[in-house]
Amino acid sequence: MCGIAGFWTASLPGTPEEVAGAMGDRLRTRGPDDRGVWADREAGLALAHRRLAVLDLSPAGHQPMVSPCGRYVLAYNGEIYNHPELRQALEGEGGHFRWRGHSDTETLLAALRHWGVEETLGRLNGMFAFALWDRSERRLFLARDRMGEKPLYYGRSGETFLFGSELKALTVHPHWRGTLDRDALTLYLRHNYIPAPRSIYQGIHKLPPAHYVVVGEDGRSLSAPRCYWDLRAVAEEGAASAGGDPEALTDELEGLLGDAVERRMAADVPLGAFLSGGYDSTTVAALMQARSQRPVRTFSIGFQEAAYNEAEHARAVANHLGTDHTELYVTPEEAREVIPELPTIWDEPFADSSQIPTYLVSRLARQHVTVALSGDGGDELFCGYHQYALGVRLWNRLRRVPLALRRRVAEALSGTPAPTLDAAARGLPRRLRQAASADRLLKLAEVLPPTEGEEFYRSLVSHWKAPEQVVRGAVEPDTLLTEPGRWPDLPGLRERMMYFDALTYLPDDILAKTDRATMAVSLEARIPLLDHRLVEFAWRVPTGLKFRGGQGKWLLRQVLYRHVPSALMDRPKMGFEVPIEHWLRGPLREWAEDLLDEKRLREEGVLRPEPIRRMWREHLSGHRRWNYHLWDVLMFQAWQREHSATPPAIEGLPAGPAQERAAG
């Protein structure tokens, strides 16, 4: 695993090598083992690379790597798991290859030279983001893996084209401007992450998964992102032909997953796995152990709060599998100590609070191994999230209720103070009190008005429902969830939910979280469930074999039960969370109060203080639980303080306090 960065410009203060080297050095934790810089001074282009050596630890894997003919130069981040087969295919087609080593970088460069970019991308099995410079045609190619495991940012800042694995590499370039994108900020408040292709900065984009772009004319010409593997087509074609015998499909899934795990076990450095005790990570660990001659290293984090602790389950699974298990119980103080580091690690606002335990378990694992396999992806592929069960069930009931009645009920609930609702709930039988709490009833009010299942789903996954009312001078952009023309033709809402999550929540939240947390400690994470062959297989599995008997992941569980007794696994699903709700009322209160200070919010001129302060008061009093909304704001505020992004002026007004004075 590595970090890449570079630029293309017509004029530059300083030498290209010095500037590219500084960009690469900001990615040092992604690649602490080697540093490389290459420049085409005549063209004004430079590439930087930081290497975490995992395969072929020798200098033969050094990057940026120049092809033997001298025409192509590659800076690459990731792992190509089928690179031995690609070498055989290249040699079988009559190419004359004198391999310098056994790194997958050399294989990838040879494939790109021999087959071209698009055909090579279609042949790759791996996670990657790369930059390929064609010196002859003066074109730069940027590409990203199918599911979005590895990040890649790009865009123009002034007259310079910039790209990198993380935003922090772009910000050290002399031409960097870094203007806050208020519209992107509205998307962040809705989703707790910024969906691709947006980033927090104007003019800087995330390359979508399974796409590549072509840059020319001294960095001034940029193609639209080109798709080389279409998940929509995969989903539609798979769902249309779905079928098969459950036993045969279980056998096929175990074979595919076993091969995906085995490929991801190839490494010249120590290797292990994250183990939470849930279905996905346990399946990966079980298949790893079945293919290992010695106990696999597994790692889990525990918390003292029982509601947030999965370590006991992980330990029981590890004992059954016979892994070499390491667990660490983290005190609330240790977990909270991570919070000041989050804006630097994630580089742009990111408010999935499971980033804290993800970082902690990554830091624990890195003390023992350099590579760790993860169970990410199982929920999106095999129907594991609660909304696929409870959400669909609720929508099927709600849509039978006349819309006018739903809207009247929603208005009545929304207009009733939370304490009044709680007081009314106290008069109900005990078994109904929790379901009728103010929080639940007010959330119900938010999902009552939608007329379409997709609108209902968007409401379910939204934090701030009207972020334009919070971000000054912003307009919320359209996304996949608001553009029906981009929705797939799938049998039902459950399938469409899985598709939406696979294209949005998975790459922009889950995989971004895993990538930044692991790379911050120089640990490579590999994700067997996102092997594209498994993704294609999962869409060919009938939904009834994913969601069965009111539970998701039915088929995946059948594979797991061949290795681990069902009695050890069948328990309610837990999230990988921390008790932010309680921390905000307790040990984090002073920190939060500083960031949410009304005077501070007004002077910064980005967020309107009134709704934020109201939520903060209600949360502190216990009348409402606003921890998700407040954590969104706090992570933005902490990021803004760390990065000092310059907010753009609203049309006709300067940024900052003058906006508030004029508005008032």
Residues in a beta bridge with 35: 50
Q: How far is Cα 28 from Cα 25, in angstroms, rounded to an integer?
A: 5
Residues 6+ apart with CB under 8 A from 26: 5, 166, 168, 169, 171, 172
d(CA 509, CA 354): 10
Answer yes or no: is pLDDT of 492 > 70.
Answer: yes
Among candidates 335, 308, 306, 316, which has minimal Cα distance to 275?
316
Q: What's the sign of the alpha-carbon dihedral 41, 46, 52, 53? A: negative
Q: 1, 45, 61, 50: which is closest to 24 by C-alpha?
A: 50
Show the tokens assigned to 490: 């799938």
CATH number of 2-229: 3.60.20.10
Counting residues of the chain whose pLDDT is more than 90, the rounded percentage is: 77
Residue 213, pLDDT score: 98
Annotation says 2 is catalytic: yes
Question: HEC profile for 335-379?
Answer: HHCCHHHHHHHHCCCCCCCCHHHHHHHHHHHHCCCCEEECCCCHH
Contact 554, 309 (CB under 8 A): no
Give me the phi and psi of 463, to 5 degrees please.
-90, -85
Which residue numbers belong to the known binding site for ATP? 301, 374-375
Residue 572 has pLDDT above 80, yes or no: no
β strands within 9-147, DSSP E = 34-40, 45-51, 65-66, 72-80, 126-134, 139-144
Question: Is the pLDDT score of 653 beyond 50?
Answer: no
Which residues line the annotated binding site?
104, 301, 374-375
pLDDT digits (tens, 9 = 90+) for 381-436: 999 999 999 999 999 999 899 999 989 998 888 777 777 777 776 666 665 555 56
Distance of CA 34 to the CA centre of its chain: 26
For residue 663, name the pLDDT band (cuts at 50, 70, 90).
very low
Please report, rounded to a whole number, the percentage of residues in the chain having pLDDT higher than 70: 92
Task: Catalytic residue, from 2, 69, 227, 383: name it.
Answer: 2
Indicate the residue type of 620: L
Which of 116, 134, 146 shows the shortest CA–CA distance to 211? Answer: 146
Report the mean per-residue pLDDT for the chain: 91
Give residue limits of the domains in the chain.
Answer: 2-229, 242-383+500-569, 386-493, 580-663
Q: Which helix (H) or strand (E) holds 148?
A: none
- Residue 533 CA neighbour count, 13 Å, CB half: 18
Q: Is 242-383+500-569 the same fold as 2-229? A: no
> Per residue in 312-358, pLDDT tens?
889 999 999 999 999 999 888 888 899 999 999 999 999 999 999 99
Residue-level pLDDT at 57: 79
Q: Looking at residue 233, what is its pLDDT? A: 98
User: Which tens digit of pLDDT belongs to each residue from 221-275?
Assistant: 899 999 999 999 999 999 999 999 999 999 999 999 999 999 999 998 999 999 9
pTM score, two decimals?
A: 0.93
104-112: average pLDDT:
96
Assign residue 549 a region (left: φ > 0; alpha: ψ between -120 and 50; beta: otherwise).
left
The side-by-side arrangement of strands in the sheet containing 297-303 is 324-330, 297-303, 271-274, 371-373, 524-526
Q: Kindly state the average pLDDT of the residues 286-296.
A: 96
Name residue 373's beta-bridge partners.
273, 526
pLDDT at position 611 is: 97
**Domain 242-383+500-569 class, CATH top level:** alpha beta
In contact, 196 and 131? CB cutoff 8 Å? no
Instruction: Give start and end residues of each alpha helix (H) in 461-588.
Output: 493-503, 505, 512-519, 532-540, 554-560, 566-569, 580-585
| C-alpha–C-alpha distance, residues 214 and 141, integer Å | 5
Mean pLDDT of 623-632: 93
Whether the pLDDT of residue 5 is over 80: the answer is yes
Q: Is 89 a residue whose pLDDT tops 70? A: yes
Q: Residues within the annotated binding site for L-glutamine? A: 104
Cβ count within 10 A of residue 300: 28
User: How many other C-beta atoms can be found within 10 angstroms of the C-beta atom of residue 174?
Assistant: 14
**N-to-C CA span, the chain:** 51
Say if residue 513's pLDDT is above 80. yes
Is 80 exceeded by the pLDDT of residue 658?
A: no
| CB of 235 closer than 8 Å to CB of 488 | yes
- Residue pointed to by tokens 């993800």: 358
pLDDT greater at residue 219 or residue 119? 119
Helical spans, DSSP H, in 13-103: 16-25, 83-92
